[in-house]
Amino acid sequence: MLIARTKKNLQEAVRVWKSGGARIGFVPTMGALHEGHISLMNLCKTRADRTIASIFVNPTQFAPHEDFDRYPRLEEQDCIKLEDAGVDMVYLPSAGEIYEDGMEPRVTPGKAAEGLESDFRPHFFGGVVNVVERLFSHVQPDIAIFGEKDYQQLEVIREMTAAHDMGIEIVGAPIIRDDHGLALSSRNAYLSPAELAIARQMNVILYEAARGTITPEAAADKLLEAGFHKIDYVASRWGRMLAAAWLGKTRLIDNVAVGTACPGS
């Protein structure tokens, strides 16, 4: 697996691959990789000739009070996982490389960014489109893969790519869950064993709302009863039932397709 830390090194390899006719696939990540990320790499490999992953903990999508400093940084382990997954190249840019011309956004999020996450993390999608547009301009992929766990993010990126005619196919990859249905997330690493048990109720309650057995409001109440401390939202959009809720200092998000039942129920 090639490792590129600069745009120059990245683009040298991409140029050679493209001149050989290769279709370039890209999976941006913030590292702390788990099986969910590896499933994105695997999907990318089926859709492209070359798979490039990036690891960059993007400062502009964290508010000052959020977990940028404590976000797990596991570069060596992550690179081993990517190599084992058969990724062709990992891009590990510095903040200076990404924001070489300053952190001012060159694009702004569209309508998909309104509500839900933006009501609670108003800075978030501005930071996401800012970094994804820069990563896209460095990698120049034909296709890029994003997890459906961050469903609103996927919609925001689809919209940005279309609005700016970037010519990049955006593909959503299904959520990977643990044996209890908890959506895999790098932030699950923050949970104590007791919090983990509560977190595993989230998908069960979301499926009830997705089937219409309970309302989104009742689902929010049930999450509180299960032990979540604060519910940011439970709401339906894009044919998904989406939720964000806090367990101590950890904020978890998840979503399931409207109309579907909890597997195994």
Q: What positions carry a catalytic annotation?
A: 37
Q: How far is the CB of 261 from ligand PAF (least distance, A)?
A: 27
Contact residue for ligand PAF among 24, 29, 51, 240 (CB under 6 A): 29
Q: Which residues contact 194 (CB under 8 A, 6 or more apart)?
A: none
Give the per-residue contact string, 149-188, with ligand PAF (x = CB under 6 A; - = no). -x--x-----------------------------------
**CA 36 centroid distance within chain:** 10
Q: How far is the CB of 265 from ligand PAF (least distance, A)?
A: 29
Q: Interacting stretch for ligand PAF, rule CB under 6 A, among 25-33, 69-77, 78-86, 107-115?
A: 25-33
* Closest to ligand PAF by CB, 30 or 89: 30
Q: For the chain, what is the HEC assignment? A: CEEECCHHHHHHHHHHHHHCCCCEEEEEECCCCCHHHHHHHHHHHHHCCEEEEEECCCHHHCCCCCCCCCCCCCHHHHHHHHHHCCCCEEECCCHHHHCCCCCCCCCCCCHHHCCCHHHHCCCHHHHHHHHHHHHHHHHCCCEEEEEHHHHHHHHHHHHHHHHCCCCCEEEEECCCECCCCCECCHHHHHCCHHHHHHHCCHHHHHHHHHHCCCCHHHHHHHHHHHCCCEEEEEEEECCEEEEEEEECCEEEEEEEECCCCCCCC
**How many residues lie near ligand PAF (CB under 6 A)?**
10
**CB contact burial 76-89 (16+ within 10 A = b; e otherwise):** eebbebbeebebbb
Written as six digits, the tokens of 62 are: 């964290």
Q: Interacting stretch for ligand PAF, rule CB under 6 A, among 15-23, 28-36, 74-82, 164-172?
A: 28-36
Q: Interacting stretch for ligand PAF, rule CB under 6 A, among 23-31, 84-92, 213-221, 239-247?
A: 23-31
Residue 28 touching ligand PAF (CB under 6 A):
yes
Residue 97 touching ligand PAF (CB under 6 A):
no
Footprint of ligand PAF on residues 114-143 (CB under 6 A)? 128, 131-132
Q: How far is the CB of 69 from ligand PAF (least distance, A)?
A: 16
Q: How far is the CB of 243 from ligand PAF (least distance, A)?
A: 17
Q: How far is the CB of 128 from ligand PAF (least distance, A)?
A: 5
Q: How far is the CB of 33 from ligand PAF (least distance, A)?
A: 10
Footprint of ligand PAF on residues 40-69 (CB under 6 A)? 58, 61
Q: Interacting stretch for ligand PAF, rule CB under 6 A, among 27-35, 67-75, 84-92, 199-207?
A: 27-35
> What's the CA gap between 124 and 138, in Å, rounded?
21
Amino acid at 35: E
Residue 254 touching ligand PAF (CB under 6 A):
no
Q: Which residues bind ligand PAF (CB under 6 A)?
A: 28-30, 58, 61, 128, 131-132, 150, 153
